[in-house]
Amino acid sequence: MVTPGRIFATERVHGDRHDWRNLHQMLPYLWEFRGRALLALAALVLAKFANVGVPMVFKEIVDAFEGQQAQLLVLPVSLLLLYGALKLSSSLFNELRDVVFARVRFRAMRRLSTRVLEHLHRLSLRYHLERQSGAISRDLERGTRSVSTILNYMVFSVIPVLVEFSLVAAVLLSKYALVFTLVTFGTVLVYVAFTFAITEWRMDYRHQMNKLDSHANSQAFDSLLNYETVKYFGNEPMELERYDTTLSQWEDYAVKSQSSMSLLNFGQGSIIALGVTGIMFFAAQGVVVGHMSIGDLVLVNALMLQLFIPLGFLGIVYRQIKYALADMDLVVKLLARVPEVQDAPRATALRLSAGAVRFEQVNFDYQPDRPILREVDFAIAPGEKVAVVGHSGAGKSTLARLLFRFYDVTGGRILVDGQDIRDLTQQSLRAAIGIVPQDTVLFNDSILYNISYGRPDALREDIERAAELAHIRTFIESLPNAWETVVGERGLKLSGGEKQRVAIARAILKQPRILVFDEATSSLDSRTEQAIQQTLAEVAANHSTLVIAHRLSTIVDADRILVMDGGRIIEQGHHRGLLAASGSYAKMWELQLREREQQTAGGLISHPG
């Protein structure tokens, strides 16, 4: 069997990255603070002028002492003061650069993080159903951090070294023989070429480490998300083995990456050592023959040290920038992903009047070879309650997803007040519809926050009234922290029935014209269900209501019932008429009635008296 990790191991992922394109993506973030960026760049250049000026002044100090050998030594106070001023200026301008550029760097991180979250919300439901939350959270974390890393290294490492190179080149060319410039920059070119070549070779190890790291994180996240399921089946050893297998592959690539980095570091050190030795040889020879002073020897040595010390770090910087670009590539590709469902170029806001809904010969499929809906045709008049029933997989819940336009129909059309929903803005369409889903997922926040989510600007009394209508206010106020009770991740601290009542309160608070109840009482006990049914009837009054139901007893009062099978409507009518027709609905009713009688009989046997 081929494990996901092995698939990653055989994948060549670096060929499809576009580093220059990714760097270009950062320009808008710099442009927002272009004044600050230019000021930081000016501070950087001034710091490097001061930095290069230090050894030049030091040369003059050495030469001043050398010229006084036969005389009484005189302290060169002005040169010493200038030396100190340059050292101070270098430190001052470096710190000024950091302070000025901090806002640019952290604002870029903020902007990119917000942009990514916005784009994730714009992507369609299909993407979110297929993605792995753990993997994408790790990828996005690394991708967002990569912007800060690239900006940080570019401004604090790459550009300073380039400026210093230019200044050193100017000094060497203007004051010394051409051989010094040739040796110095020949060494630099060999160093850079060696660094680039080896780093490109070992980048594949880093890509595989990232892939496996994301995959391992996804496995751990998925395992913890399904904590109860793992416990039910006692599969902790299997989860740990699966996780450890991926980490084992990650470990192999991490070791290879570290070993190859040691080879790279040794090669870089060797090139620098040879270059400095060559420079010092020519400088010493110049002093011997009298072409250079002791001060010149000191200056050349100091310039080489100033040049090669940051150059040693430049190798690390290059690797980190390459890693950051690889991480950033994940975010760039995500942002390039086009949402499956988009507003039309000339989309208009929904002109809501009565809230009439019509499915007109609707066809839909998730994959072309697997049709879900076939020529579904029905209407919901203003104020009418239409229920949809059928066995699992009949296509009932798909109707709600299409009405919300989480997917576009593959045939036919859906109308709201006579307007094709594909011609409307998604925001205006969804604002007109309220839903109580079958699987209620809550935010890891307070009950108050989760109910108010239906209408964030609602008054406290409106929220309390919605909770009362949903028969959950008494329960909330009985809790130790009452409305501020945190419900846990996905609402796990609440029972299924309590979560559904929060969802009902949220839908009530939204006050939509169109209501969708998708198995809205499936997690409630019979007593609470009866109370909620009355509430739903009150809430649905004067609303166009679509009820997707499994328990037929909950929709006997519907104005019309649609029976679906195999993606088609095979029967429709009111409850009594469908029973009299003795078709599929009547058989489903009889089956559920028998199941209820058996459950009742079982309860009497289990609890006699």
Report how far residue 365's alpha carbon sits from residue 372's, in angstroms, rounded to the nearest whole number: 5
Which residues are CB-contacts of 152 (< 8 A; sequence separation ≥ 6)? Answer: 105
Is a pLDDT exceeding 50 seen at residue 14?
no
Residue 87 tokens read as: 């050292």
Predicted pLDDT of residue 525 = 63
Q: Do 61 and 80 form a contact (C-beta atoms < 8 A)?
A: yes
Fold classification of 346-432+513-609 is: Rossmann fold (3.40.50)
Q: Mean pLDDT across the stretch 4-17? A: 39
Predicted pLDDT of residue 173 = 79
Using a pLDDT cut of 90, give the percent of the chain over it: 0
- Stretch among 103-117, 132-146, 451-465 having the lowest mean pLDDT: 132-146
Q: Mean pLDDT across the stretch 253-258? A: 84
Q: Mean pLDDT across the stretch 562-590? A: 86
Distances in whole angstroms, Cα of residue 378 to Cα of each of 3, 46, 519, 563, 579: 47, 75, 20, 12, 20
Predicted pLDDT of residue 368 = 74
Distances in whole angstroms, Cα of residue 345 to Cα of each of 115, 342, 422, 424: 21, 9, 11, 10
Predicted pLDDT of residue 23 = 67
Q: Mean pLDDT across the stretch 136-149? A: 72
**Averaged confidence pLDDT in the chain:** 78
Predicted pLDDT of residue 16 = 41
Predicted pLDDT of residue 3 = 40
Q: Do 50 and 90 form a contact (C-beta atoms < 8 A)?
A: yes
- Whose CA is closest to 218, among 239, 234, 248, 236? 239
How many residues are listed for the chain in this entry?
Answer: 609
Report how far residue 410's alpha carbon sits from residue 126's, in angstroms, rounded to the nearest whole number: 15
Report how far residue 384's alpha carbon sits from residue 310's, in angstroms, rounded to the nearest whole number: 75
Calculate Rg over the CA atoms of the chain. Answer: 36
Q: Mean pLDDT across the stretch 278-298? A: 79
Phi-psi category of residue 582: left, alpha or beta, with phi > 0 → left and psi -120 to 50 → alpha = left
Per-residue pLDDT band for 106 (boundaries 50, 70, 90) equals: confident
Predicted pLDDT of residue 8 = 37
CATH architecture of 439-511: 3-Layer(aba) Sandwich (3.40)
Highest mean pLDDT among 179-183, 204-208, 315-319, 429-433: 429-433
Is a pLDDT exceeding 60 seen at residue 145?
yes
Report how far residue 323's alpha carbon sits from residue 317's, in angstroms, rounded to the nearest whole number: 10
Phi-psi category of residue 144: left, alpha or beta, with phi > 0 → left and psi -120 to 50 → alpha = alpha
Residue 284 phi/psi, 5-degree rounding, is -60, -40
Predicted pLDDT of residue 600 = 60
Q: Mean pLDDT across the stretch 434-446? A: 81
Phi-psi category of residue 497: left, alpha or beta, with phi > 0 → left and psi -120 to 50 → alpha = alpha
Predicted pLDDT of residue 15 = 42
Phi-psi category of residue 365: left, alpha or beta, with phi > 0 → left and psi -120 to 50 → alpha = beta
- Whose CA is closest to 534, among 581, 469, 454, 606? 469
Of 131 and 120, the structure prediction assigns the larger pLDDT to: 120
Specify the CATH class of 16-336 in words. Answer: mainly alpha
Per-residue pLDDT band for 591 (boundaries 50, 70, 90) equals: confident
Predicted pLDDT of residue 521 = 66
Report how far residue 346's alpha carbon sits from residue 222's, in angstroms, rounded to the nearest whole number: 41
Measured CA angle at 389 (ends 585, 371), to 5 deg = 110
| CA 542 and chain centroid, separation | 41
pLDDT, tens digit (0-9, with 9 covering 90-100), for 77-91: 777 787 777 778 777
pLDDT, tens digit (0-9, with 9 covering 90-100), for 380-434: 888 888 889 888 777 788 888 889 888 888 888 898 888 888 988 888 888 888 8
- Which ranges in 123-235 belong to alpha helices (H)? 125-130, 133-153, 159-175, 178-225, 227-233
Per-residue pLDDT band for 499 (boundaries 50, 70, 90) equals: confident
Residue 145 tokens read as: 């951090």
pLDDT, tens digit (0-9, with 9 covering 90-100), for 65-74: 665 554 555 5
Same fold, 346-432+513-609 and 439-511: yes
Where exactly are the structural domains of the chain? 16-336, 346-432+513-609, 439-511
Predicted pLDDT of residue 303 = 77
SS3 content of the chain, % helix, strand, coil (to 5): 65, 10, 20
Q: Do 435 and 406 form a contact (C-beta atoms < 8 A)?
A: no
Highest mean pLDDT among 129-133, 257-261, 299-303: 257-261
Q: Mean pLDDT across the stretch 26-48? A: 75
Predicted pLDDT of residue 589 = 85
At how many degrees (to 10) do helices 294-336 and 236-289 cross? 150
Predicted pLDDT of residue 523 = 57
Is a pLDDT exceeding 60 seen at residue 5?
no
Distances in whole angstroms, Cα of residue 219 to Cα of each of 5, 18, 214, 223, 250: 12, 29, 9, 6, 14
Predicted pLDDT of residue 606 = 43
Residue 572 tokens read as: 């429709």
At how many degrees (to 10) do helices 159-175 and 34-66 cross? 40
pLDDT, tens digit (0-9, with 9 covering 90-100), for 545-565: 898 888 787 888 888 888 888
